[in-house]
Amino acid sequence: MAIVNAAAVKNLPWEERPAECPDVVWRYSGNPIIPRYPFPGAQGVYNSAAIAYGDAFIGVMRVEYRDSMPRLHVARSRDGIHWDIEQEKIVMTGADAEIARPAYTYDPRVCRLDDQYYVTWCNDYHGPTIGIARFEQLENAFLPYNRNGVLFPRKLRGRYLMLSRPSDNGHTPFGDIYVSESPDLVHWGRHRWVMGRGGQWWQSTKVDAGPIPVETTEGWLLFYHGVITNCNGFVYSMGAALLDLDDPAKVIYRTNEYLASPSAPYETVGFVPNVFFPCAAIADAPTGRIALYYGAADTCTALCFCRVDEVLAFLKAHSTVF
């Protein structure tokens, strides 16, 4: 299987799988790549976006302050591992004043689309909804309440597509993923159910889209997180699904086993324990290698790796659609 609609990434962050590791996804030995307390006044950087840009990398980081309120910050890196984070938060311009001054902004994604770069994030407008920006902030995509807005990296049938999870003002109900269409990134409709929580316990409470889908010759490869509620609270793990190229509402394969779950100390201990939250995937088209960035325990940023052909083989061998 080949990656399409993606460029070669000359200096993709990469580390070969350790000989003793049997898993399809393996962690970077230098994790976490962004630790707790990265600069004065910040208590954590996690659930952030990153993208290759020329010979370097650009990030939009979720920075949590010591008042526990998240803001978005720009970050830059030469190697995708060592990041310089601007200490001034991003201030959006161009938007209606009604939506331009949110109380919080978090969990961003960055998507290259039509030779422009778009940021989506969880925005605050009388509750969580989906903010969108390119050079300027656009209208919020949906009514409250909604989370995890993830654009597709190209149009289908002349329309933009976005995954999201309708919700309430909390963190648990309405745990299913939908796809919506738009002619202009402002007016959204034709909402279609993609996949829901349930089935295996690790994804029984809710599921959410993770990084921008990776286009392959066999379908859209979507990494997502699934959540279980156990006796000590939530546990966030990572799975994958393959969506139909022409109709992403159709799920071809979906993992019935997780690809990764909190196990390292920086994933199991932190502000919110037991969180493995994938938010960015940088794919190198010629080699099929992917570097995945994820938030760990709502505290720090970590990195893991996989190969597209191995993920697809795992999907085919461990798949359930429900």
Secondary structure (3-state) at 100: helix
State the pLDDT at residue 100.
82
Task: Check whether 268 has a pLDDT greater than 80.
Answer: yes
Q: What is the mean pLDDT of the chain?
A: 94
- pLDDT average, residue stretch 234-239: 97
15 inside domain: no
Considering the domain boundaries, does residue 4 fall inside one?
A: no
Higher-scoring residue by pLDDT: 268, 173:
268
Q: Which residues, 6+ apart, have CB-to-CB distance to 274 below 8 Å?
A: 232, 233, 234, 235, 236, 262, 267, 268, 297
How many whole angstroms separate alpha carbon 114 and alpha carbon 135? 13
Task: Provide the pLDDT for residue 7.
Answer: 81
Q: What average pLDDT score do residues 194-213 get? A: 93
pLDDT band at 322 (very low <50, low <70, confident <90, very high): low
Lowest mean pLDDT among 17-26, 93-102, 252-261: 93-102
Considering the domain boundaries, does residue 310 fall inside one? yes
pLDDT digits 0-9 by tens, 75-95:
999 999 999 999 999 988 887
pLDDT in tens, 140-164: 999 999 999 999 999 999 999 999 9
Q: Which residue has the tokens 């920006």?
A: 133
Range of the domain at 109: 42-317
Residue 240: CATH number of its domain = 2.115.10.20
| pLDDT tens readout for residues 107-118 | 999 999 988 999
Determine, yes or no, domain membership for 131.
yes
Quote the CA–CA distance of 74 and 84 in Å, as a whole number.
9
Whole-number pLDDT of residue 258: 96
Of the candidate ranges 22-26, 128-132, 197-201, the one whose mean pLDDT is the lowest: 197-201
In a domain, 196, yes or no: yes
- What residues are paired with 156 via a beta bridge? 159
Task: Please tell me the total count of domains within the chain.
Answer: 1
Q: Is residue 147 included in any domain, yes or no?
A: yes
Q: How confident is the model at residue 4 (pLDDT cuts 50, 70, 90)?
A: confident
| Average of per-residue pLDDT across 184-213 | 94
Tell me the mean pLDDT in the region 4-23.
Answer: 92
pTM recorded for the entire structure: 0.96
User: To the nearest whole percent, how much of the chain has pLDDT over 90?
Assistant: 82
- Under the banding of pLDDT at 50, 70 and 90, the label for residue 248 is very high
18 domain residue, yes or no: no
Q: Which two tokens stand for residue 266?
A: 């920086």
Residue 17 belongs to a domain: no
Q: Sign of the C-alpha dihedral, residues 214, 195, 139, 102?
A: negative
